[in-house]
């Protein structure tokens, strides 16, 4: 525990010097009182053994010293501890000398020593408190001893001096204890302040990272805190976040909160319509009752519904995949039985026609089951670095051979520089095969009826794959449903081909879109180019 201050401009140092200034003003007041008593009372003998001349000299000297000490305090020189010790020591000397001039311990001026010791101990935070008490006790006992030897004072007055000395020590110890406890309380309060500040920063960081909006309102309906998510969710209400009163920045929220405070709402969760968005507000009281303020949590109900819909679709997708897998076994049995019946040479034409219908529908259902199972595997990507030119040349050869397409009917156009993409080979092969098969089927099936082009996007510097045909194209009123599942314009189609192509593109961080032309239509796949 110390009262030493390194920098006079620091906040604790200013507090110490200000306290010392107050002590200087108190010293001037006491000196003026001593001098005033002499000027008004004159030579009246109202103390025993009163030495008026010595009393006047000491009072005047004490006043000059008080003014000089206050001047040193104002310029903050010398060091605080040195100046305080010097002033208190001279105070003790002056007070004991004044006691001697007005009759010693019986004058009652010794109580000023207790005040001086208490003040110095509190100012110095208990430092040197016992030293000041010891110095005052020595001065008292010496003064009383001198009076007993020279002036033959009553020996019983010595006990009064001893009691006053003990009072000085008791005061010093009490002040030391109070200063120590005050210092501990100050340190604890400072630590609690740091903890509260850290906690406030942590809470602010947590609220800023929350997905929900958070608004804190106090009992006077003043806005205390909000996060960025709250600004985004409440933006349609045009709030003025600079205003402190909720009635000015969020009047609708203020109205709902008043109803919640008055307990006129059926629950603490209410819905608020904000243009095209529906919000869910949850009011949580800050204290034991609702009148002390509330924390309002804000959720986007449309987003919650979208997430619930996604969960439902994911569960439905798994269920559909499981059903499709179970269908394959009986479907294989039906297909096998149909093939065995078709091998019977003695069957009539009607039976042969019925068996052919069964076989066609079995094949159609098997294709649908394969598409559904493939759709369920869209997230199982194995992306790798694919040199796109070499891949497209190999694909072009295989496609023409398997689909029995003449080389002049399917044209491959490649960019000049070597390009590499990060894609799942199996997924890319399935996407291109599906799009090229559909394009050839709907084209005129003549020279250059189907064209696969590779080029670089000038805007995003990505890779563009375009599959174009010279067929009739997709009618404008159907284009918005083109990538929806089970949407098809053919009676024999499953309606899953383009939907699966889009899903596989998205699984590989690519996109696909359709463009209609006067001479046909084209599908364009945008793929990010892999960095070298």
pLDDT digits (tens, 9 = 90+) for 210-236: 888 888 888 888 888 888 888 888 876
Number of domains into which the chain is organized: 4
3-state secondary structure of 152: coil
Given 352, 376, 400, the domain boundary residue is 376
Residue 197 inside a domain? The answer is no
Say if residue 182 is in the same domain as residue 44.
Answer: yes
Single residue among 356, 376, 396 that ends a domain in this structure: 376
Per-residue confidence (pLDDT) for residue 6, from 0 to 100: 45
Quick one: pLDDT at residue 416?
65
CATH code where residue 241 lies: 3.30.450.20
Q: Where are the alpha helices (DSSP H) in 382-496?
A: 388-402, 425-442
pLDDT at residue 351, rounded to an integer: 76
Per-residue pLDDT band at 169 (split at 50, 70, 90) = very high
CATH number for 412: 3.30.565.10
Backbone angles phi, psi at 162, to 5 degrees: -65, -45
User: Which 8-state DSSP code applies to residue 126?
Assistant: T
pLDDT > 70 fraction of the chain, expressed in percent and rounded: 83
Average pLDDT over residues 305-310: 67
End-to-end CA distance of the chain: 66
Q: How many CA atoms, within 13 angstroms, populate the side-chain half-sphere of residue 258? A: 11
Task: State whether 329 and 446 are in the same domain.
Answer: no
Picking from 376, 400, 429, the residue at the C-terminal end of a domain is 376
The span from the CA of 527 to the CA of 423, in Å, is 9
Report if residue 205 sits inside a domain.
Answer: no
* Mean predicted confidence (pLDDT) in 348-368: 74
Range of the domain at 227: 211-301
Residues contacting 44, CB < 8 A, separation 6+: none
Residues 365 and 238 in one domain: no
């Amino acid at each position: 525990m110390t009262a030493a201050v390194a920098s006079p401009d620091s906040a604790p140092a200013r507090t110490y010097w200000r306290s010392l200034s107050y002590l200087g003003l108190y010293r001037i007041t006491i000196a003026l009182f001593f001098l005033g008593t002499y000027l008004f009372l004159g030579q009246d003998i109202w103390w025993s053994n009163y030495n008026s001349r010595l009393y006047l000299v000491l009072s005047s000297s004490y006043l000059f010293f008080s003014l000089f000490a206050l001047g040193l305090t104002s310029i903050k020189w010398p060091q605080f501890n040195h100046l305080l010790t010097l002033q208190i020591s001279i105070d003790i000397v002056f007070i004991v000398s004044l006691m001697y001039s007005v009759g010693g311990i019986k004058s009652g001026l010794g109580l000023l020593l207790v005040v001086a010791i208490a003040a110095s101990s509190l100012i110095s935070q208990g430092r040197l408190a016992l030293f000041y008490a010891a110095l005052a006790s020595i001065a008292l006992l010496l003064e009383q001893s001198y009076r007993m030897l020279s002036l033959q004072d009553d020996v019983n007055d010595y006990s009064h001096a001893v009691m006053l000395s003990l009072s000085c020590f008791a005061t010093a110890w009490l002040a030391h204890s109070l200063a120590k406890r005050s210092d501990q309380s100050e340190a604890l309060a400072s630590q609690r302040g740091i903890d509260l500040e850290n906690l406030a920063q942590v809470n602010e960081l947590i609220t800023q990272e929350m997905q929900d909006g958070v608004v804190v309102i106090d009992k006077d309906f003043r806005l205390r805190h909000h996060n960025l998510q709250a600004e985004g969710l409440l933006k349609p209400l045009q709030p003025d976040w600079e205003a402190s009163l909720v009635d000015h920045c969020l009047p609708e929220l203020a109205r709902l909160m008043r109803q919640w405070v008055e307990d006129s709402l059926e629950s603490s969760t209410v819905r608020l319509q904000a243009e095209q968005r529906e919000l869910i507000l949850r009011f949580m009281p800050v204290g034991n009752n609702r009148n002390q303020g509330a924390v309002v949590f804000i959720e986007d109900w449309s987003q919650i519904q979208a997430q619930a819909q996604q969960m439902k679709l994911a569960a439905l997708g798994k269920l559909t995949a499981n059903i499709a897998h179970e269908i394959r076994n009986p479907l294989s049995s039906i297909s096998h039985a149909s093939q065995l019946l078709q091998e019977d040479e003695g069957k009539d034409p009607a039976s042969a026609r019925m068996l052919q219908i069964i076989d066609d529908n079995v094949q159609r259902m098997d294709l649908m089951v394969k598409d559904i199972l493939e759709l369920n595997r869209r997230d199982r990507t194995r992306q790798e670095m694919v040199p796109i030119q070499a891949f497209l040349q190999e694909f072009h050869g295989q496609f023409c051979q398997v689909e029995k397409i003449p080389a002049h009917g399917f044209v491959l156009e490649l960019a000049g520089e070597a390009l590499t993409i990060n894609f799942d080979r199996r997924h890319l092969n399935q996407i291109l095969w599906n799009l090229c098969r559909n394009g050839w089927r709907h084209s005129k099936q003549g020279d250059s009826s189907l064209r696969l082009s590779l080029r670089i996007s000038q805007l995003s510097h990505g890779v563009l794959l375009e599959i174009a045909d010279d067929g009739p194209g997709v009618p404008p009123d159907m284009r918005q449903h083109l990538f929806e599942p089970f949407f098809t314009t053919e009676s024999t189609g499953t309606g899953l081909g383009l939907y699966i192509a889009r899903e596989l593109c998205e699984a590989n961080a690519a996109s696909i879109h359709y463009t209609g032309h006067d001479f046909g239509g084209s599908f364009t796949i945008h793929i990010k180019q892999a960095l070298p």
